[in-house]
Structure 1
Amino acid sequence: MDVKKRYLVVMVILAMVFGSILTYVGVEVFNIGQASNNDEEQSLISTDEDKQKVLEEQNEFNGFAKVVQAYNIIEKNYFEDVEQSKLVEGAIQGMLDTLEDPHSVYMNKEMVEQFNQSIESSFEGIGAEVSMEDGQVTIVAPIKGSPAEDAGLRPKDKILEVDGESLEGLDLNTAVSKIRGEKGTEVELTILRAGSSDPVTVPVVRDEIPVETIYPEVKTVDGKKTGIIQITSFSQNTADEFNEALADLEEQGIEGLIIDVRGNPGGLFTSVEKILENFIPEDQPYVMIQEKNGEKIRYYSGTKEKKEYPIAVLTNQGSASASEILAAAMKEAGYPVIGQTTYGKGTVQKTIQMGDGSNIKITIYRWLTPDGKWINEKGVKPTMEVEQPEFFYTSPVEVEEPFEYNMNDEKIANVQKMLEGIGYDPGRTDGYFSKQTEEAVQAFQQENDLNATGVINEETGQKLQQKVIDAVRNQKNDKQLQEALNELY
């Protein structure tokens, strides 16, 4: 191995062990390498406890030396040239993989740039938060108004392929790099939806994704003004924007408030803290942090009084992380939480720079509810469970061959649920294309300026999917929102 390569190996091992060695006292550092017969050095190790520490540190060093040995074996013996940077990054990723924590990840320089773009004013892509679950890339939530939402993607959808290329075996960063791309380009995602056995291919046209996080509105129901604030994620400016929106709604004389964190994948811990300070009294904690040593720290706000008007929170399966902190705090403070059980992410991560533009995002502690419950992989259960209409959970329409009378297919069942959801009666929803289903299709085609054949071709399928998306966005069909409005008054 030439001098340059030897130098690289030395730097790798130093980088890996330096952080842990640096905190040891001087005698421990100098006795890490090997035992010595020097009387002066031996005198420094004065007790059995000190000797045991040195032996443990020697074993730790030998463990890291094994990594360098593996590097040398690969570099000298592998039958093809291997990029040194790939070996180093592979070693780092391998260590993180052993943690079996999908939220602790290595990000190379390119991934760091993409991550930074995603928390700035805008970025280009499909607009969906994803995570790795059981080795599969899984959508946490599509961003409001994004191409991912327009294409009908939903929380918990598994992305199996990108442009026909399997994602199996890839780490999350590599998978994301294949999904993202320039505005105007199309990517085909093969997804598997919970409850469905057949994957479907969904074309998504990438776009510029604005990072807007607060969407306030006033809705008057039975003469009462209700403020609704939807929070789509918790970014750097979210808390300030929320507080401004809340002040504006209060000036308009709202008599109740709904905080909507459905489809919110989370974000900055400090952001949700500032929002909760509006609602949680000073004598109640709004979150509890459990550190590595088991110590639990409670966080309190400075709020002396609750708001005078009633407040409710909306959640669903796409409400994750910081959204769950908010939902749990509000629930345990006595506010109603309406919708579905949340995603179930009970850990907090910190991003640490590595000096060359790369980062490690690593889990640093658990967060617990104010009552000390850990919701990881369980989620926050609402005080009132409300499911959306069945057509909200249908899969994107995929028509390889036209569907027509007397056919039987799972994809036809999906279409029948869509038709029923938007007001056409297919007679059945079990996948058999009956005469009544044919009549329902004809009625849909006639009302949407399509050739009324009663056969579902690609054009009819696309139009049907768009109508379903429009119906999902219509607040009149939103059972969770309607129930929250009823609960307030």
Structure 2
Amino acid sequence: MFWKGRNLYIFVAFMLLAMFASSVLTLTIVGPFSFAEQGKSVSGGKAEQSGFTAQELKKLSTTYELIKTQYLHEVDKTKVIDGAIHGMLGSLNDPYTTYMDQKEAQQFNDMLNSTFQGIGAEVSLEDGRVKVVSPIKGSPAEKAGIRTNDIIMSVNGEKLDGLTLSEAVMKIRGTKGSQAKLQIMRAGAEPIEIVVVRDDIPIETVHSEMMDGQVGKLDVREFVQNTAKTFKEHLKALEDQGMKALVIDVRNDPGGMLNAVVDMLDPFVASGKTVVQVEDRNGQREKTVSKGSSKPYPIAVLINNGSASASEIMAGALKESAGATLVGEKTYGKGTVQVTYQHELGDGSNIKMTVMKWLTPNGNWVNEKGIEPDLTVDQPSYFKASPMSKKTTLKTDTLGDDVRNLQMMLEGLGYKPGRIDGYFSEATAQAVKSFQGQHGLPANGDVDVATANKIEEAITKEIRDPKNDLQLKAAVEAMKKAVK
């Protein structure tokens, strides 16, 4: 999350891998927070002039002059200066503190009022590697099987090692219809290749439906400018239908505008109760309180490890200030606040820097810890199956992660592979033959590209079928019991 300029904006570190680097969505805090004047730092409560000593300035200037006059090749001064800024920010070892050059900063600004094309995922740079925070719901990345905590090693054969986050994202972004062949490293598995077809990133941020037992469901994909208004419209429609309980789904929601989530929380949190807190480097805190009311019906919030930032604010506020039940898995744990500085640089470039942290109403800091659910529910194992690499045809006696993922998918589809340990047994071959025979494929028991694609297509359909969503089922059942 971060602020923009001197206005109080919190942004989720929201890398869309779509149009630009360092893309984030504004989160506006209600009410100003006190800071030292621009250009000054705060130490021990006293403002003191910041800047370089004469010796430090000489050191920097001498380094540049040596590069300019002695380096083997002529250099671009702008690139050298940008490199120095990248180096300073990189020394902070903070995945959410980044530098955007003029082009990237302009794309960032355009994003606030634009639609997006790309793969649709939030990422950060950790230990020099591009790490997925969360694929956006309904995005090409989610549909292709990209997961939270995946490491993107290369795109279309170009390695991302050694690049800044902005540079890496520029490699991944692209136009609608083009392919991004991503080499993915996933914990406990060999690197795999996932092909993502870039597309428009979904801009419909709220979906609703009435579930069994008059339990309403609101699916929030991200928190952007119009989300609060749309959310309230969907909420009213559900209430007009006689809704008795509500499930709010923020799974794989990377976050967004804080003023949006605060506005969305007002109807559920009693007036005067805390919604969120922010804390600066000196331990000073500022609270944002509800100006709304509360609801007479029970509420559950669906969360998982792709629920980050504003999603966590919503989950924390509803749990601690409105008595909601959290269902699913532990959240991602994004609890820092960033400020963007563009006008200060004076040339159209932009620095996004972590300056604060946010806390739940009870003062809990969720950074790198996440929020635990009240009701832990795991999805079926095949939800975690990775796409097969399709580098070779899988057959009897083959070993490896591809076979293990194949077996997980077959089991999820109702076939019996005999084992799920990565060894292609006779039972696995028979399961493959059964699948092939029922889907118009040569029933030879070997998994070539055609069979692999068909199996993945079938398991994707199962994953998207609500009847297989154990977390949603558990939330609905919990709400039905709460109503009785």
TM-score, normalising length from structure 2?
A: 0.86
SS of aligned partner of 1:471: helix
1:88 to 49, 63, 81: 81
Q: Hey, what does 1:311 align to over in structure 2? A: 299
Task: Select which of 172, 184, 194 maps to 2:187.
Answer: 194
What's the counterpart of residue 213 of structure 1? 205
CA drift of 1:257 comes to 0.8
Which aligned pairs between 1:219-368 and structure 2 lie closer than 5 A?
219=211, 221=212, 224-304=213-293, 306-333=294-321, 334-353=323-342, 354-368=345-359
Q: Report what 2:30 is aligned to.
A: none
The 8 Å contact of residues 119 and 211 in structure 1, kept in 2 or not, is answered as: no
Structure 2: runs of 5 or more not aligned = 1-35, 42-46
Supply the distance in 2 between the matched residues of 1:136 and 1:439 (Cα, whole angstroms): 41
Aligned partners of 2:40 and 2:50 also within 8 Å: no
How far the C-alpha of 1:113 sits from its partner, in A, is 3.5
Is the counterpart of residue 453 in structure 1 residue 444 in structure 2? yes
CA, structure 1 residues 74+335, in 2 after alignment: closer, same or farther (shift >3 Å)?
same
Instruction: Check 1:23–1:488 CA distance in 2 against 1; reply closer, same or farther (3 A cut).
Output: closer
Q: 1:427 aligns with which of 410, 418, 429?
A: 418
The C-alpha deviation readout for 1:148-191, integer Å capped at 9, x for no partner, is 12211111111111112211111111111101111121121000
Give the deviation of 1:58 after TM superposition: 8.6
Write out per-residue CA displacement over residues 51-108 of structure 1, whole angstroms, 9 at most, x where no aligned residue: xx99x97963432342222111211111101111101111111121122111111111
Please, what is the CA RMSD of the aligned residues?
2.1
Alpha-carbon distance in 1 for matches of 2:274, 2:39: 37
Instruction: Give distance in 1, aligned partners of 2:51 and 2:222.
Output: 46
Q: Which runs of 5+ in 1 are unaligned?
A: 1-18, 25-52
Q: CA deviation at 1:308?
A: 1.0
Matched, 1:466 2:477: no
CA deviation map 1:337-356 (0-9, x unaligned): 01111111101222221332
Aligned mate of 1:397, from 388, 395, 400 = 388
Q: Does 1:128 align with 2:117?
A: no
- Tell me the TM-score normalized by structure 1: 0.85
Contact 2:250 2:303 in 1 (8 A): yes
Q: Which amino acid aligns with 2:283?
A: G
Q: Does the Cα contact within 8 Å between 1:121 and 1:210 map onto a contact in 2? A: no
Q: Shift of the alpha carbon at 1:118?
A: 4.2
Bigger radius of gyration, 1 or 2?
A: 1
Residue deviations 1:429-470, cap 9 Å, x none? 011111111111011112222111111001111111111111
Percent identity between the two aligned chains? 45
Number of equivalences: 437
- The question of whether the paired residues in 2 share the 8 Å contact of 1:264 and 1:318 is answered with yes
**Contact 2:118–2:199, Cα closer than 8 Å, also in 1:** yes
In structure 1, how many angstroms separate the alpha carbons of the residues matched to 2:338 and 2:134? 19
Alpha-carbon shift at residue 394 of structure 1 (Å): 1.0
Runs of 4+ in structure 1 deviating by more than 3 angstroms, as ranges, are 19-24, 56-62, 116-121
Match for residue 384 of structure 1? 375
Structure 1 counterpart SS, 2:261:
helix
Are the equivalent residues in 2 in contact too, given 1:185–1:206 (CA < 8 A)? yes
Label 1:22 to 1:136 Cα distance change in 2 as closer, same or farther (>3 A). Answer: closer
Would you say the 8 A contact 2:152–2:183 is kept in 1?
A: yes
Q: 1:389 to 1:57 in 2, by over 3 A?
A: closer
